[in-house]
Amino acid sequence: MIWFYRILFLPVLVVLLPYYACRMWRRGGYRHDFHHRFGLIDRPPPKRAGMRRIWLQAVSVGEAKALGPLLAGLNALPNTEVVVTTTTSTGYEILREKFAASVLKVGIFPLDFWPFSRNAWRRLNPDLVLLMEAELWPEHLHQAQLRGVPVALINARMSDRSFARYQKVSGVARWLLGQLREIQCSSASDQSRFIQLGADPGRIRLSGNLKFDAAAQIPILTENERTALRDELGFGSPVKLESQNAKPVSPLVLLGSSTWYGEESVLLEVQQAAVASGLDVRLLLVPRHAERRGEIISLLEKQPLPWHARSAARQSPLPVSIYLGDTTGELARLTQAADVAFIGKSLPPHSEGQTPIEAAALGLPLVYGPRMSNFRDACRSLEDAGAAWRVDDATSAHLALIALLQDPTRRAQMSAAGRAWQAANQGATARTVAALQEILK
Active-site residue, selected from the candidate residues 63, 139, 263, 358:
63
Q: Say if residue 4 is exposed, middle or buried (CB neighbours under 10 Å; 0-12, 13-18, 19+).
A: exposed
63 is catalytic: yes
Neighbour tally for 364: CB within 10 Å: 28
Dihedral angle sign, alpha carbons of residues 165, 168, 169, 174 = positive
| Dist. CA 288–CA 354, nearest whole Å | 8
Q: Say if residue 258 is exposed, middle or buried (CB neighbours under 10 Å; 0-12, 13-18, 19+).
A: buried
Full DSSP string of 143-207: HHHHHT--EEEEEE---HHHHHHHHHTHHHHHHHHTT-SEEEESSHHHHHHHHHTT--GGGEEE-
Whether residue 349 contacts residue 240, with contact meaning beta carbons closer than 8 Å, is answered with no
Packed helices 2-27 and 138-147: angle between N→C axes, nearest 10 degrees = 130
Beta bridge partner(s), residue 239: 249
| Dist. CA 86–CA 84, nearest whole Å | 7
Residue 390: closest CA among 417, 415, 372, 408:
372
Whether residue 99 contacts residue 366, with contact meaning beta carbons closer than 8 Å, is answered with no
28: Cα separation from own chain's centroid: 19
Instruction: Give the N- to C-terminal CA distance of the chain in Å, as an integer.
Output: 31
Beta bridge partner(s), residue 254: 283, 340
Known catalytic residues are: 63
